[in-house]
Amino acid sequence: MAQLSTVERCFLTQALGQHKRLDGREVSQARLFTLARNGNEVTVCLGKTTVTSRIKAELVRPQEGRGQQGVLLFRNSLNSEEPQARKTQDMLDTLLDQLVKESKAISLESLSVVNQTVVWKLQVTNTLLVDDGNLVDAFYLASIVSLSLFRKAFVRIDNKTLFVYDQEPLRAQSLSINHVPIVTSFGLLDIQE
């Protein structure tokens, strides 16, 4: 975490003492949340921070030892070449993995098509368009909204042959979402005068 200079610390102390934020919000006021959908792409704005999310789905062989579970991956892009950006991307990948998969928000078993043979692999790709802070909340919201709106193609099995109906949106199936963890960030400041 970056250290604040004396001037920055004094400025922030004065602003917080007057119940002001730099972006004009009240101290306890949350950022405005907006959502837009264009086909299979979701754009989430949390304040001025803007993230797009897209899901790519494909049928694959299951991972070794997980024949009854599908695959869910998160790939996050900050569109920055700074060394710190790579660490932040890795942190976001890990955090989203924990929030969604380890909390069992999405049933990975429901992504299995043929036990031990064929499963759905979903890759959620999030891209940062505008960074105005609150990245964790924005990336999480983009991911969970995208997963909630995503529909996987209907698959029929006939004599050990798979038929994928990806051009029939009426037969598409929503994901099995068990619950939606709520993520919110807040700051605690220990400002000593």
Q: Do 53 and 142 fall into the same domain?
A: yes
Number of domains in the chain: 2
Residue 76: give its domain's CATH number: 3.30.230.70
Q: Are residues 6 and 35 in the same domain?
A: no
115 in a domain, yes or no? yes
Residues 14 and 39 in one domain: no
pLDDT higher than 70, residue 36: yes
- DSSP-derived 3-state class of residue 17: helix
Same domain, 16 and 78: no
In a domain, 192, yes or no: no
Q: What is the pLDDT of residue 188?
A: 55
Over residues 162-179, the mean pLDDT reads 81
Q: Which long-range contacts (CB under 8 A, 24 or more apart) does 155-163 make?
A: 155/59, 155/113, 157/113, 157/114, 162/59, 162/113, 162/114, 162/118
**For position 191, what pLDDT does the model report?**
57
The answer as to whether 187 is a domain residue is no
For 19, the domain range is: 1-30
**Average pLDDT value for residue range 133-142:** 91
**25 plus 105 within the same structural domain:** no
Same domain assignment for residues 100 and 134: yes
Contact present, 70 and 119 (Cβ < 8 Å): yes
Residue 48 has pLDDT above 70, yes or no: yes
Q: Could you tell me if 15 and 35 lie in one domain?
A: no
User: With bands split at pLDDT 50, 70 and 90, how would you rate the model's confidence at 1?
Assistant: very low
Q: Which of 44-48, 99-103, 181-185 has the highest mean pLDDT?
A: 44-48
Integer Cα distance of 21 and 169 in angstroms: 46
Average pLDDT of the chain is: 86
By residue count, the chain amounts to 193
* Mean pLDDT, range 25-32, rounded to an integer: 78
pLDDT at 20: 76
* Distance, C-alpha 173 to centroid of its chain: 20
The C-alpha atoms of residue 33 and residue 77 are separated, in whole angstroms, by 21
Residue 1, classified by CB atoms within 10 Å of its CB into exposed (0-12), middle (13-18) or buried (19+), is: exposed
DSSP annotation string for 154-187: EEEEETTEEEEETT-GGG-EE--B----------
**Judgement on whether residues 110 and 164 belong to the same structural domain of the protein:** yes
Q: Are residues 105 and 82 in the same domain?
A: yes
